[in-house]
Structure 1
Amino acid sequence: MMDVTLSRRQFFKLSMTASGGLVLATQLSACGTDTHSGEKNGVWHADAWVKMDAEGQVKFLLDRVEMGQGTYTGLTTLLAEELDIDPSLIEVQFAPADTRYRNPDYGLQITGGSNSLSSSWDQIRQSGAAVRAVMTQAAGRVWQVAPEECSTMDGRVVHAATQRSLNYSDLYAVAVKESVPNSLTLKDPADFKYIGKHNQRLDAPLKSTGTADFGIDTVVPGMAFAVVSRCPVIGGSVKHFDATAALASAGVKQVVEITSGIAVIADSYWQARKGLNALSVEWDEGENASLSTQAVFEQYKQMADQDEGDSRRDEGDIESALSNGDLVISAEYQAPFLAHATMEPQNCVAHVQADRCDIWAPTQGPDVAQVAAAKVTDLSLDQIFVHTTFIGGGFGRRLSQDFVAEAAEISAKTGLPIKLIWSREDDTQHDIYRPASYHRLKAAVSADGKLTGWQHQLVCPKILSWYVWDAAPAQFPWAPKFMYNTLANAGIAGEGVLAPEDHSPFEGAESYPYAVESVDVRYTHADAGVPVSYWRSVGHSQNAFVVEGFMNEMAHAAKQDPYQFRRNLLKDNAQAVAVLDKVVALANWGKAPKGVHQGLALHYSFGSWVAQVVEVAVEGTQYQVNRVYCVIDCGLAVNPDIVHSQMESGVIFALTAAKYGQIDIEQGRVKQSNFHDYQMLRMNECPEIVIDIIPSAQPPKGVGEPGVPPLAPALADALFSATGKRLRELPLSLS
């Protein structure tokens, strides 16, 4: 496969001559809902999202995956509202890989960035409104009245003047012949029956009874199990292997070499695992054999010394502000690599045949999974069919498709349907990690306690540089395979044209929200060769800790209360002030009981403002977080119960990382391996979490990730209040 870097001009010349392919791809991704599609095999396909059978059963093709964050309920609620049907009566199916289901914010069919509701807010409601309009037209035709005289209620069309009503199922035969009107009317929010109400999660019964099919539950006829031995050194490869003992192990069918290592295939998972333990492999450890966490941060610091970075924000005169400040504070912060630690380890079932490949996977990117499978088979994208399942935790890990590629390659080489399962050790030591980052900050305070200058230089890798290799080809499904590397290289070189600009390193830092005369934010790129990917709240997870942590330092230096210090700098931001005011009132800020210490942080991410107050008790070098107060403004809360759940989830996820999260590298190897040394928060450590949602009529914003960023800086501030010790490195330890 060739590896060529194209200029933007060259790429566009090439793509525009490829049978109009670029134009076609653009049209497909922007087409929105289909017009009336007609009846197929006794089922009315209203559009790409909604189907109905003759009995009136509505089927919703969910184009965003369900990984615990609530899309299964949230998006169904949007459809149900416009259809005037109880959400629990709608049958939810996972959508296949298809350009019609591309996330409009990303140009890929991926679930991430906490935008499932915001990106679907109009689209899914319009689908429901279209079906509702067709049903009222059909009823008008049956009753010989104007459709405007008809209304809908509980899956029926009602003609109030004559007190007649017909179920949707009664109108099916007429409705399938109707056309969707050119103009659709969405419901007035005042008439919402389901949106904004406390609805039960639709996936709860399935998960509670064990009938929800996760990826790891997949079984297909003739399936064999596979595990993979991968080089313990990051980036290493196979030098030589001896499969004699492994093949002699009970149940082992085959041993094959694949791109990432050696696969052992057997009749059961445990037989495959035992066979792998008998395998003899000599590894080529490659250039990372001496890599360590210490070396990574030394590289970052060296890069910060040598490169002042690309300016991400430049306002006022920072040099003057720092020179003339009555008090100038400097600090260095750093955050470690982190694993995703999804409860369901990576897994995939793949069946590669001569003319097709079927993939059953808990993936956050079905179209990106197609590319991953295409790369390791002789098949094209239109021959690869991805069957998405429920996902036992994503957190961004399943945006990457390495586990799909492995399963497809093993199936292609063995001719068998393959169920690949990673162990917890595989999952921890071969993750694609949250980037580590290093930060230098300076800020100036005037004699009257006013913050006059803010400077922030941050150093870390770019996630898109790693992700683009599968993502770029997925954007152009017409492209032949020989162009895949070209597309990826062009995506990196032409960032912002072939791919969105990668804001992951500096998001949450460049959008510094406080009114300060001079602001200077710079980014220095450094990549140590450790694979990195998206992690819940992405760059915000690190940058909020740094920005809000240093804001607390500056408040202390200015001898001001952290709440009032922030409020003075946010006086023109009513939304932020409302969230901040609410959380301090909720927490009774500044009046904690004896022995309890409070910390505060505020952050904006994924369209939502979140403020948190953490209460902590300290005993020696140990601390316990007793309570977390959390207030969010996320626009209209479509399902308030889910917003509450996601805030609680975000707090626990963030507290786990703040207390324990750390991936260490020695001699190119990840030291941590399982939950004994990559620890999760235990039930007895879980704090009481008090949630409040700011009422809003604005369209919904993100909730899955915004609860994460404020926790670490608020906790660090509480620990400073308790001990006088300023903690600038994660995880937060007093020992």
Structure 2
Amino acid sequence: MTIALERRSLLRAAGALVLGFAVPLPAPRHAAAQANPPVRPPMTGGAGTLTAYLAIAPDGAITLYSPTTEMGQGTWTGHVAIVADELGADPGRIAVENPHPAAPYRRDVGAGPAMGSGGSWGVRYWYQPLREAAARARVALVGVAAERLGVPAAELRAEDHHVVHAASGRRLAFGDLAAAAAQRPLPESAALRPAAELKLIGRGLPRIDIPAKTHGGTIYSIDLKLPGMVYAYARVSPVFRAELDRFDAASAKAVPGVLDVVAIPGGAAVVATSMWAAMRGGRALDIAWKPTPHDTTTSADITAAMKDGLAQPQGAVSRNDGDVDAALRAASRVVEADYEVPFLSHTPLEPWNINVRIDGDRLEIWAPTQNQDRLLNRVVRETGWDREKIRLHTMLQGGGFGRRLYEDIPSAAVIVARAVGRPVKMFWTREDEIGQGWGRPAQMARLRAALDAQGKVTGLWVRTAGTSMNRDFNNFQGDLDASSVQTLNDTRYRTGAYRVDYVRRQAPVPSMPWRSVGATQNGFFMESFLDEVAQAAGKDPVALRRELLAHDPRALRVVNTAAEKAGWGTPLPAGRARGFAFVESYGSLCAQVAEVSMENGRPRVHRVVVALDCGSQVLPDGVRSQVEGGVIQGISTAMGEKLEIAEGRVQNANFDGYHVLRTDEAPTLIETHVIESGERMGGVGEPPVPPITPALANAVSALVGRRIRKLPIADALG
């Protein structure tokens, strides 16, 4: 198969200027693998295929079949470090590919086995399976070497891509042993290397995807070009959930380069010889959609519905410890506040796109997906294709953040490819991505705290109200959406009596997981409110949290580390304030302190100090990168991001109206302090996001003298 790849010559030329600052890798295979991975069947059974995850070629090149999608978070580098350490391999000779979905690549964290990447599971879930697979492969290689060298296996070591007999100085290369090892039954289990022998895990390895990205060699899904490919611009309704009424194909076909117009669910696809022609034809297309019940819906309507939810006498209860009503009645003081967050876009820099090719009864899909099985299941369900005759190639992604978990265009792309009889690249524009891409739910919360005469919290009631993300994303039909009470339901705080409930108020805006899911909303609600409680009780905000966590040494260590490293309580320059927050999510505990001032009526974040307990870490630099990215994304959502809804549609569907954080608005300094607690490994990609928003809001509240209860902060400040 021949695939032509479009290159960005300007980026490549610019990359040549900065390569001198990159850490070089021992071999260039990483760059080639990242550019366009030749996805293979998961278990070929061929020479050198030792496990479902590892194949070793005669020249010693290792292919690691990673079950996770690389979205720029560095998961593949972590997997290389795990395998290289346990196998005794040279990491520079390991290339990574995503396999086609199969049993070994599926994980089950409660919703059934599926191949997909989300929930910050990329390293923590696969750490043990990959180490065990590498250890079993190592035992097989050593076994073959022992026979060839005529020595006991116990006298051999696997290191530096060889099996070595130290006593005689003899060495056998992995590539020379792999074919024979692949013919042997693997041991049921193998002892893992002791920590003292690990050279990469917990220490470091340069990111394997950076060199190709630096010199412009990385090929994303939107770059892929297949022989004979045509381009299909998906013209979808600007009003949420509207169905196609009619279109006049002639209006688009008048544009040079337009070949056809094909009806698809929710709209029509304009097919052309180039992306530009497809977009021009799409804009020229005379198309109409059927009216919907929410054609006049506005952001204010959505807010009013959530407020109504807060006022309901009953909610779906997720936790009810003690008698909250009695605690509130007996309180010397009750603190109450309402909070609100808007719908948010994922805003990946690469808009939605997918590539498909049909060859008889065979279907090939090249997709930037986070959820391989879900994508295939939908294609089979909506097109009737035999799943055994579909091959999925997972492409590198220009941003994910949960957006690639959904599968809203693959079936449409197959419909178009069937209609035109040619390979198709279907794509959305930026306006479609922000205007029709499924967002993080809007949500409100009402919190009530009971304080006794000494200012001690004796009861806390939290109610949330808003869209059920799982109803949209997973067709959940119950009354209690767990994502809407995430982190609230399993908080480590002890507040005496404690109740959490939820009232669903479904908006027409479709919603789905967004980085850290419900923890972003609920972390803001709880941690902002605790500052209000501290003020009412006459206590320092950190002191109050220490009081509520006095029973939990692990959580206290995280809180204390962040406070101490940030100099909590020490003097600051005039015009600056600190804000604190602590949120647990995805198996990790994270506390943050934001140091903030006001410049021209807007917050300016000078310094963020982060304490993160993720149990243990594989790549410290990767952890720092994820923390820094999470902090910046959290600041972005706190400062100015929101979807503005009017007439049943998004009004600010590009970066001129949807304000993501600019470079000059980023913090001057982000300090990351990782606590190696030895607890079970937690996630890293999502836990740094939730605490920064309340930490920033608490600092701003201290500066302006009023509470920030509604995001984005730019709106709250007026």
User: TM-score scaled to structure 1, two decimals?
Assistant: 0.89
CA contact (8 A) 2:485 2:522 kept: yes
Match of 2:95 in 1: 91
Please state if 1:722 is matched with 2:703.
yes
* Structure-1 separation of matches of 2:208 and 2:677: 24
CA contact (8 A) 2:162 2:172 kept: yes
More displaced, 609-618 or 379-388? 379-388
Q: Output the CA distance in 2 between the equivalents of 1:699 and 1:151.
A: 29
2-side partners of 1:152 and 1:282: how far apart? 66
Kindly indicate whether the alpha-carbon contact (under 8 Å) linking 1:38 and 1:44 is maintained by their aligned counterparts in 2: no
Report whether the alignment pairs 1:287 with 2:267: no
Give the conservation status (yes or no) of the 8 Å contact 1:345–1:427: yes
2:327 to 316, 321, 330: 321
Say which of 496, 518, 521 aligns to 1:542.
Answer: 521
For residues 470 and 228 of structure 2, what CA distance do their matches in structure 1 show? 38
Residues 1:523 and 2:502 aligned together: yes
Quick check: 1:374–1:384 contact (8 Å CA) kept in 2?
A: no
Alignment check: 8 A CA contact 2:233 2:427 kept: yes
**Which residue of the partner structure matches residue 345 of structure 2?**
339
In structure 1, the residue matched to 2:280 is 274
Q: Which residue of 1 aligns with 2:336?
A: 330
Q: Does 1:50 align with 2:31?
A: no
SS in 2 for 1:126: helix
What do you get for the CA RMSD once the two structures are aligned?
1.7
Residue 145 (structure 1) shift: 2.2
> What amino acid does structure 1 have at the position aligned with 2:68?
R
Which residue in the other structure is 2:561 paired with?
Answer: 582
1:670-685 alignment runs, 5 A limit: 670-685=650-665
Task: Tell me which residue corresponds to 1:65.
Answer: 69
Count of residues in Structure 1 that have an aligned counterpart in Structure 2 = 671
Mapping of residues 240-255 of structure 1, within 5 Å: 240-255=246-261
Q: Counterpart of 1:13? A: none
- Give the CA deviation at 1:620: 5.4
C-alpha displacement at 1:697, in angstroms? 3.2
- The CA deviation string for residues 421-440 of structure 1, in whole angstroms up to 9 with x for no partner, is 21111111011010111111
Report if aligned partners of 2:417, 2:424 keep a CA contact under 8 Å in 1. yes
Deviation at 1:40, TM superposition (A): 4.1
**What displacement does 1:279 show?**
1.0
- Equivalences for 1:43-442 in 2 at 5 Å? 43-105=47-109, 106=111, 107-442=113-448
Structure 1's unaligned 5+ residue stretches are 1-36, 470-491, 496-500
Is the CA contact 2:60–2:93 (under 8 Å) kept in the aligned structure 1? no
The alpha carbon displacement at 1:39 in A equals 7.6
Instruction: Give 3-state SS (helix, strand or coil) of 1:181's partner.
Output: coil
* Per-residue deviation, 1:622: 2.0
Partner residue, 1:443: 449
Shift of 1:455: 0.3
Check the 8 A contact 1:606/1:705 in 2, yes or no: yes
The C-alpha deviation readout for 1:88-119, integer Å capped at 9, x for no partner, is: 22011112122331122142111000011111
Query: Mean alpha-carbon deviation: is it higher for 315-324 or for 59-68?
Result: 315-324
Q: What displacement does 1:38 show? A: 9.2
| Residue 519 of structure 1, CA deviation | 0.5
Q: Quote how far apart the aligned CAs of 1:170 are.
A: 2.7
Name the SS for the 2:104 alignment partner.
helix
Question: What secondary structure sits across from 1:111 in the alignment?
Answer: coil
1:494 is displaced (CA, Å) by: 8.5
Write the deviation string for residues 144-200 of structure 1: whole angstroms up to 9, x where unpaired.
Answer: 222122111111112233332222123234323322123310111222111001221
- Of the structure 1 ranges 66-75 and 157-166, higher mean CA displacement relative to structure 2 is found in 157-166
Deviation at 1:686, TM superposition (A): 0.7
Task: Find the aligned partners of 1:38 and 1:655 in 2 and give their Cα distance.
Answer: 44
Match of 2:489 among 510, 525, 537: 510
Q: Which residue of 1 aligns with 2:33?
A: none
Quick check: 1:38–1:46 contact (8 Å CA) kept in 2? Answer: no
Distance 2:386 2:176 in 1: 43
SS of 1:196 mapped into structure 2: coil
Q: Does 1:638 align with 2:618?
A: yes
Q: Which amino acid aligns with 1:97?
A: P
AA paired with 2:88? D
Corresponding residue to 2:540 among 561, 564, 576:
561
Q: Is the 8 A contact 1:583 1:631 kept in 2?
A: yes
Measure, in 1, the Cα distance between the counterparts of 2:539 and 2:43.
66
Amino acid paired to 2:233: V
CA deviations over 1:431-474 (Å, ceiling 9, x no partner): 101011111110011121211111001112322222236xxxxx
Q: CA deviation at 1:85?
A: 1.3
Per mean C-alpha deviation after superposition, the further-off stretch among 303-312 and 583-592 is: 303-312
Q: Which residue of 1 aligns with 2:648?
A: 668
Matched AA of 2:107: N
| TM-aligned CA deviation for residue 255 of structure 1 | 0.8
Q: Which residue of 1 aligns with 2:712?
A: 731
Q: Which residue is equivalent to 1:484?
A: none
- Percent identical pairs in the alignment equals 35
Match of 1:581, SS state, is helix
Quote the Cα distance in structure 1 between the aligned partners of 2:432 and 2:146. 61
Deviations, residues 534-563 of structure 1 (Å, cap 9, x unaligned) = 000000010000011111111111111111
Paired residues of 1:603 and 1:609 also in contact (CA < 8 A)? yes
- After superposition, the Cα gap between the structure-2 partners of 1:621 and 1:164, relative to the gap in structure 1 and judged at 3 Å, is same
1:409 positional shift: 2.1
Tell me if the contact between 2:132 and 2:189 (Cα under 8 Å) persists in the aligned partners: no
**1:576 CA drift (Å):** 1.1
Query: Would the alpha carbon gap of residues 556 and 651 (structure 1) be closer, same or farther in structure 2, given more than 3 Å must change?
Result: same
- SS of 1:128's equivalent in the other structure is helix
Q: How far apart are the structure 2 equivalents of 1:39 and 1:158?
A: 28
Separation in structure 1 between the aligned mates of residue 642 and residue 116 of structure 2, nearest angstrom = 27
| Amino acid in structure 1 at the alignment position of 2:177 | L
Cα distance between partner residues in 1 of 2:132 and 2:419: 46
